[in-house]
Amino acid sequence: MNLSRFFEVERHHSTVKREILAGVTSFFTIAYIIIVNPLILADAGMPYYGVLLATILTSVAGCFFMGFYANAPIILTPGMGVNAFFTYTIIQGMGLSWREALAAVIISGILFLIIASTKLKDILSESIPASLKHSITVGIGLFLAFIGLQKGGIIEASTTTFVKLGHLSHPTTLLTIVGLIITLFLFSRNIKGSFLIGIAVTCLIGYATGWAHGAEDTHAKMELAPFMQLFFGADFKGMLSLPFWIATFSLTMIVTFENMGLLHGLLPDQKKFPKAFQANAVTSLISGIFGTSPTISTVESAAGISEGGRTGLTSVVTGTLFFASIAVTPFLSMIPDGAIAPVLIIIGGLMVQNIQHIPLSDFTEGFPAFLIIALIPLTYSIVDGLAFGFIAYPILKMAVGQRKQIPAPMYIIALLFLINFVFHSFI
């Protein structure tokens, strides 16, 4: 296969080498999901090693579908946040079994696919004002930087102020600061592969100095039997209960609007949105079949895009590395947080630049955008941040007599978000 011709690499002003490098960078930035996702879903009573394999296979399918079908450099893996919602809200909070929760994932995936395959996706996408689309990019950038600062120990939780400056003498924090300096130097000098080189050099420094600490579980291994408990393991008997449909509605809202927001914030070429959105939907459905929480277009995709990834070859390379990780999972768990954090912080800073496109002088446009920007990182949820901004937008426009500037679907979107909040208030 001629990779350059198949993925139209030259038309996207890229090279095969650059796309491969971007794919490798994306993989090492998101590889932690292989270890973390099973840990969260294990709290729901699901077999750890089964979820581990399900996470890898779902990510492979998502990246390949995104790459070959949508030709977009977006990475799909089970999403952080939605996996916590799956475990701690749907299962532990609402009382569904994990098999019933997987059934909710499948049905929400079908509903998502219906939206993504019809004019509904165009109606929803076109109804979102430009100011809100730009604010999504900025909010995700702050969220990414916030995650990086947390991973790197530069900020930490506080019982009095919620967050505070971390201990700068802690090994992880020291490694993050050193890695940030190295990666900033490489990136500012426009050195190709700066993020990947930064991760590699920081890892070497970390283990040479004793500052490196990988994930706690370094004995991950593949076992087929636990995975077979999950594969097609959904139980649809709960469909007659109200909690089941509340869970399904909530999941549909999350996967639809979070992926829409992420794609608007990350895609270098917005013409690829329809197919990329459909790839999201198909993979979300596959998640429930394979036995894991729904996939999301990961914010870490920005790492590969910042390295120059512009086509689906980036995603395919990442998917290939996910498949290869079946043999080397214990080694992936050894990548320290201090090596990943600098990349996330820098990419977050780059994405915040989109704030210059938001008409902040117009309060009816600027304030809803501000809510999205502030609440995505502060609620630690992209979909909750979107909800506040999308609800505030029509309210402000109506308050100043500008109802005609509000696309009709925005009323429906705002109402759906409001209903979702009402549902959660009773859970």
DSSP, collapsed to helix, strand or coil, labels residue 73 as coil
Q: Is the dihedral of CA 352, 354, 360, 361 positive or negative?
A: positive
CA distance 256 to 111: 9
Span 360-369, average pLDDT? 96
What residue type is 324 in one-letter code?
Answer: A
The four Cα atoms 302, 303, 306, 310 give a dihedral, to 10 degrees, of -70
The reported pLDDT for the residue numbered 207 is 92
Residue 333's SS3 state is coil
- Is residue 217 predicted with pLDDT exceeding 70? no
52-66, 112-126, 134-148: range with highest mean pLDDT: 52-66
pLDDT at 366: 96
Q: What value does the mean pLDDT take over residues 105-122? A: 95
305 or 383, greater pLDDT: 305
pLDDT tens for residues 43-89? 899 998 899 999 999 999 999 999 999 999 999 999 887 888 899 88
Q: What per-residue confidence (pLDDT) applies to 359?
A: 95
Are residues 78 and 59 in contact, defined by beta-carbon separation less than 8 angstroms?
yes
Average pLDDT, the chain: 91
One-letter amino acid identity for 117? S
How far is it, in rounded angstroms, from Cα 302 to Cα 66? 15
pLDDT grade for 221, boundaries at 50, 70 and 90: low
Average pLDDT, integer, range 279-297 = 97
Write down the pLDDT at residue 81: 79
What pLDDT sits at residue 213?
66
pLDDT score for 84: 86
Could you tell me what percent of the chain has a pLDDT over 90? 67
User: Which DSSP state fits 214?
Assistant: -
**How many whole angstroms separate alpha carbon 122 and alpha carbon 129?**
13
Q: Are 130 and 152 in contact (CB under 8 A)?
A: no
Q: Report d(CA 134, CA 136) in Å as an integer.
A: 5
**Which whole number is the average pLDDT over 370-390?**
91
Helices 273-290 + 119-127 axis angle, to 10: 120
The pLDDT of residue 218 is 45
Question: Tell me, what's the pLDDT at 164?
Answer: 95
Provide the strand spans (E) within 214-336: 295-297
- pLDDT for 426: 67
> With 70 as the cut, is the pLDDT of residue 392 above it?
yes
Residue 269: how many other CB atoms lie within 10 Å: 13
Asked if 173 and 153 touch (Cβ cutoff 8 Å), the reply is yes
Q: Given a cut of 60, is residue 215 above it in pLDDT?
A: no
* Rounded mean pLDDT, 164-175: 94
Average pLDDT over residues 378-404: 92
Long-range own/partner contacts, residues 39-46 (CB < 8 A, 24 or more apart): 39/217, 40/83, 40/84, 40/87, 41/83, 41/86, 41/87, 41/98, 41/292, 41/293, 43/87, 43/88, 43/92, 44/86, 44/87, 44/91, 44/92, 44/98, 44/101, 45/91, 45/98, 46/98, 46/230, 46/291
The Cα 19–Cα 175 span in angstroms is: 28
pLDDT digits (tens, 9 = 90+) for 366-377: 999 999 999 999
The answer, yes or no, to whether residue 312 has pLDDT greater than 80, is yes
17-51 per-position pLDDT tens digit: 999 999 999 999 998 899 889 888 998 999 988 99
> Token pair of 98, please?
């994990």
* For residues 223-248, average pLDDT: 91
Work out the end-to-end distance of the chain between its first and last CA atoms, rounded to an integer number of angstroms: 52
